[in-house]
Chain A
Amino acid sequence: MKPVALVEGRGVPLGRSDIDTDQIIPSEWLKRVERTGFGRGLFSEWRDDPSFILNQQDFVGAAVLVANARFGTGSSREHAVWALMDYGFEAVVASSFGDIFRNNASKQGLVIVELAEADVAELRDLIEKNPRMVITIDLTRRTIEVAEVAWQREFAMSDTIRERLLNGWDDIGLTLLHEDDISTFETSYDRQHPSAAAQFSAEATS
Chain B
Amino acid sequence: MGRTLFEKIWDSHLVTSSETGPSLLYVDLHLIHEVTSPQAFDGLRIGGRRVRRPDRTLATADHNVPTDPLDVPVADPISKKQLDVLEENCAEAGITLFPRGHANQGIVHVIGPELGVSQPGMIIVCGDSHTSTHGALGALAFGIGTSEVEHVLATQTIPQTKPRTLAVNVVGTTPLGVTAKDIALGVIRRLGTGGGSGYVVEYRGHAISALSMEGRLTLCNMSIEAGARAGLIGVDDVTINYLRTTPGVPQGDEFATAEKSWREFASDPDAVFDDEITIEAASLAPLMTWGTNPSQVVEVTGVVPAPVDEADTRSLEYMDLAPGTPLSQVAVDVVFIGSCTNSRIEDLRAAAAVAAGNTVASSVRALVVPGSHRVKKQAEAEGLDQVFLAAGFEWREPGCSMCLGMNPDQLTPGQRSASTSNRNFEGRQGRGGRTHLVSPAVAAATAIVGCFAIPHEVAR
Residues on A with C-beta less than 8 A from B24 are 175, 178, 181-182
Is there contact, CB below 8 Å, between A103 and B82?
A: no
Cα of A20 to Cα of B35 in the assembled complex, Å: 18
Q: Is A18 an interface residue (CB 8 A)?
A: yes
Is there contact, CB below 8 Å, between B406 and A178?
A: no
Q: Is B85 an interface residue (CB 8 A)?
A: yes
Residues on A with C-beta less than 8 A from B311 are 16-18
Interface 1/0 per residue, A91-105 and B, CB below 8 Å: 000001011100110
Is there contact, CB below 8 Å, between B143 and A186?
A: no
Is there contact, CB below 8 Å, between B193 and A70?
A: yes
Q: Is B57 an interface residue (CB 8 A)?
A: yes
Q: Which A136-195 residues have a C-beta within 8 angstroms of B?
A: 158-160, 170-172, 175-176, 178, 181-182, 185-186, 189, 193, 195
Residues on B with C-beta less than 8 A from A81 are 145
Q: Is B428 an interface residue (CB 8 A)?
A: yes
Q: Which B107-134 residues have a C-beta within 8 angstroms of A?
A: 115-117, 119, 122, 127-129
Minimum CB–CB distance for A156 against chain B, Å? 13
Q: Per a CB cutoff under 8 Å, which of B16, B85, B227, B314 touches A98? A: B227
Is there contact, CB below 8 Å, between A99 and B85?
A: no
Minimum CB–CB distance for A120 against chain B, Å? 15
**With A22-B427, A78-B146, A172-B151 in contact, is A200–B406 under 8 Å at CB?**
no
B residues contacting the other copy or chain, number (CB 8 A): 81
Interface 1/0 per residue, B294-313 and A, CB below 8 Å: 00000000000000000100
**With A30-B406, A31-B64 in contact, is A197–B145 under 8 Å at CB?**
no
**With A22-B426, A197-B96 in contact, is A27–B39 under 8 Å at CB?**
no
Q: Is B102 an interface residue (CB 8 A)?
A: yes
Is there contact, CB below 8 Å, between B81 and A199?
A: no
Interface 1/0 per residue, A11-34 and B, CB below 8 Å: 000001110101100111011111
Q: Which A40-67 residues have a C-beta within 8 angstroms of B?
A: 45
Residues on A with C-beta less than 8 A from B148 are 103-104, 107
Cα of A104 to Cα of B100 in the assembled complex, Å: 29
Residues on B with C-beta less than 8 A from A27 are 404-406, 428
Minimum CB–CB distance for A196 against chain B, Å? 4
Q: Per a CB cutoff under 8 Å, which of A26, A70, A198 touches B431? A: A26
Q: Per a CB cutoff under 8 Å, which of A34, A158, A172, A200 touches B39? A: A34
Residues on B with C-beta less than 8 A from A203 are 96, 103-104
Cα of A182 to Cα of B98 in the assembled complex, Å: 29
Residues on B with C-beta less than 8 A from A28 are 405-406
Cα of A54 to Cα of B63 in the assembled complex, Å: 30
**With A18-B293, A45-B426, A172-B47 in contact, is A96–B155 under 8 Å at CB?**
no
Is there contact, CB below 8 Å, between A73 and B227?
A: yes
Is there contact, CB below 8 Å, between A77 and B147?
A: no
Is there contact, CB below 8 Å, between B96 and A175?
A: no
Q: Per a CB cutoff under 8 Å, which of B145, B194, B404 touches A73? A: B194
Cα of A205 to Cα of B293 in the assembled complex, Å: 39
Cα of A104 to Cα of B101 in the assembled complex, Å: 32
Q: Is B157 an interface residue (CB 8 A)?
A: yes
Minimum CB–CB distance for A151 against chain B, Å? 24
Is there contact, CB below 8 Å, between B425 and A74?
A: yes
Q: Is B22 an interface residue (CB 8 A)?
A: yes
Cα of A185 to Cα of B12 in the assembled complex, Å: 10
Is there contact, CB below 8 Å, between A196 and B26?
A: no
Q: Is B205 an interface residue (CB 8 A)?
A: no
Is there contact, CB below 8 Å, between B404 and A178?
A: no
Is there contact, CB below 8 Å, between A35 and B229?
A: no
Closest to A31 in B: B78
Cα of A193 to Cα of B104 in the assembled complex, Å: 23
Q: Per a CB cutoff under 8 Å, which of B56, B127, B404 touches A195? A: B56
Q: Is A118 an interface residue (CB 8 A)?
A: no
Cα of A18 to Cα of B197 in the assembled complex, Å: 13
Is there contact, CB below 8 Å, between A78 and B156?
A: no
Q: Which B86-107 residues have a C-beta within 8 angstroms of A?
A: 96-104
Q: Is A69 an interface residue (CB 8 A)?
A: yes
Residues on B with C-beta less than 8 A from A185 are 15, 26
Residues on A with C-beta less than 8 A from B144 are 76, 100, 103
- Beyond contacts A30-B36, A181-B24, A186-B26: 16 other A-B pairs, Cβ-Cβ < 8 A, are A18-B293, A30-B63, A33-B42, A69-B194, A75-B404, A98-B197, A104-B147, A158-B21, A175-B155, A185-B26, A193-B122, A195-B56, A198-B56, A204-B98, A205-B99, A206-B101
State the B residues within 8 Å of A (CB): 15-16, 20-22, 24, 26, 28-29, 35-36, 38-39, 42, 47, 49, 53, 55-58, 63-64, 76, 78-79, 81-82, 85, 96-104, 115-117, 119, 122, 127-129, 143-148, 150-151, 154-157, 159, 161, 193-194, 197-198, 224, 227, 229, 248-249, 293, 311, 314, 404-406, 423, 425-428, 431
A-B residue pairs, 10 tightest by C-beta:
A104-B145, A107-B147, A78-B145, A33-B38, A78-B146, A31-B78, A76-B143, A204-B96, A198-B55, A76-B129
Q: 12 A-B contacts, Cβ less than 8 Å apart?
A: A22-B426, A23-B425, A27-B406, A30-B406, A70-B227, A75-B404, A78-B145, A78-B147, A100-B144, A196-B119, A196-B248, A206-B102
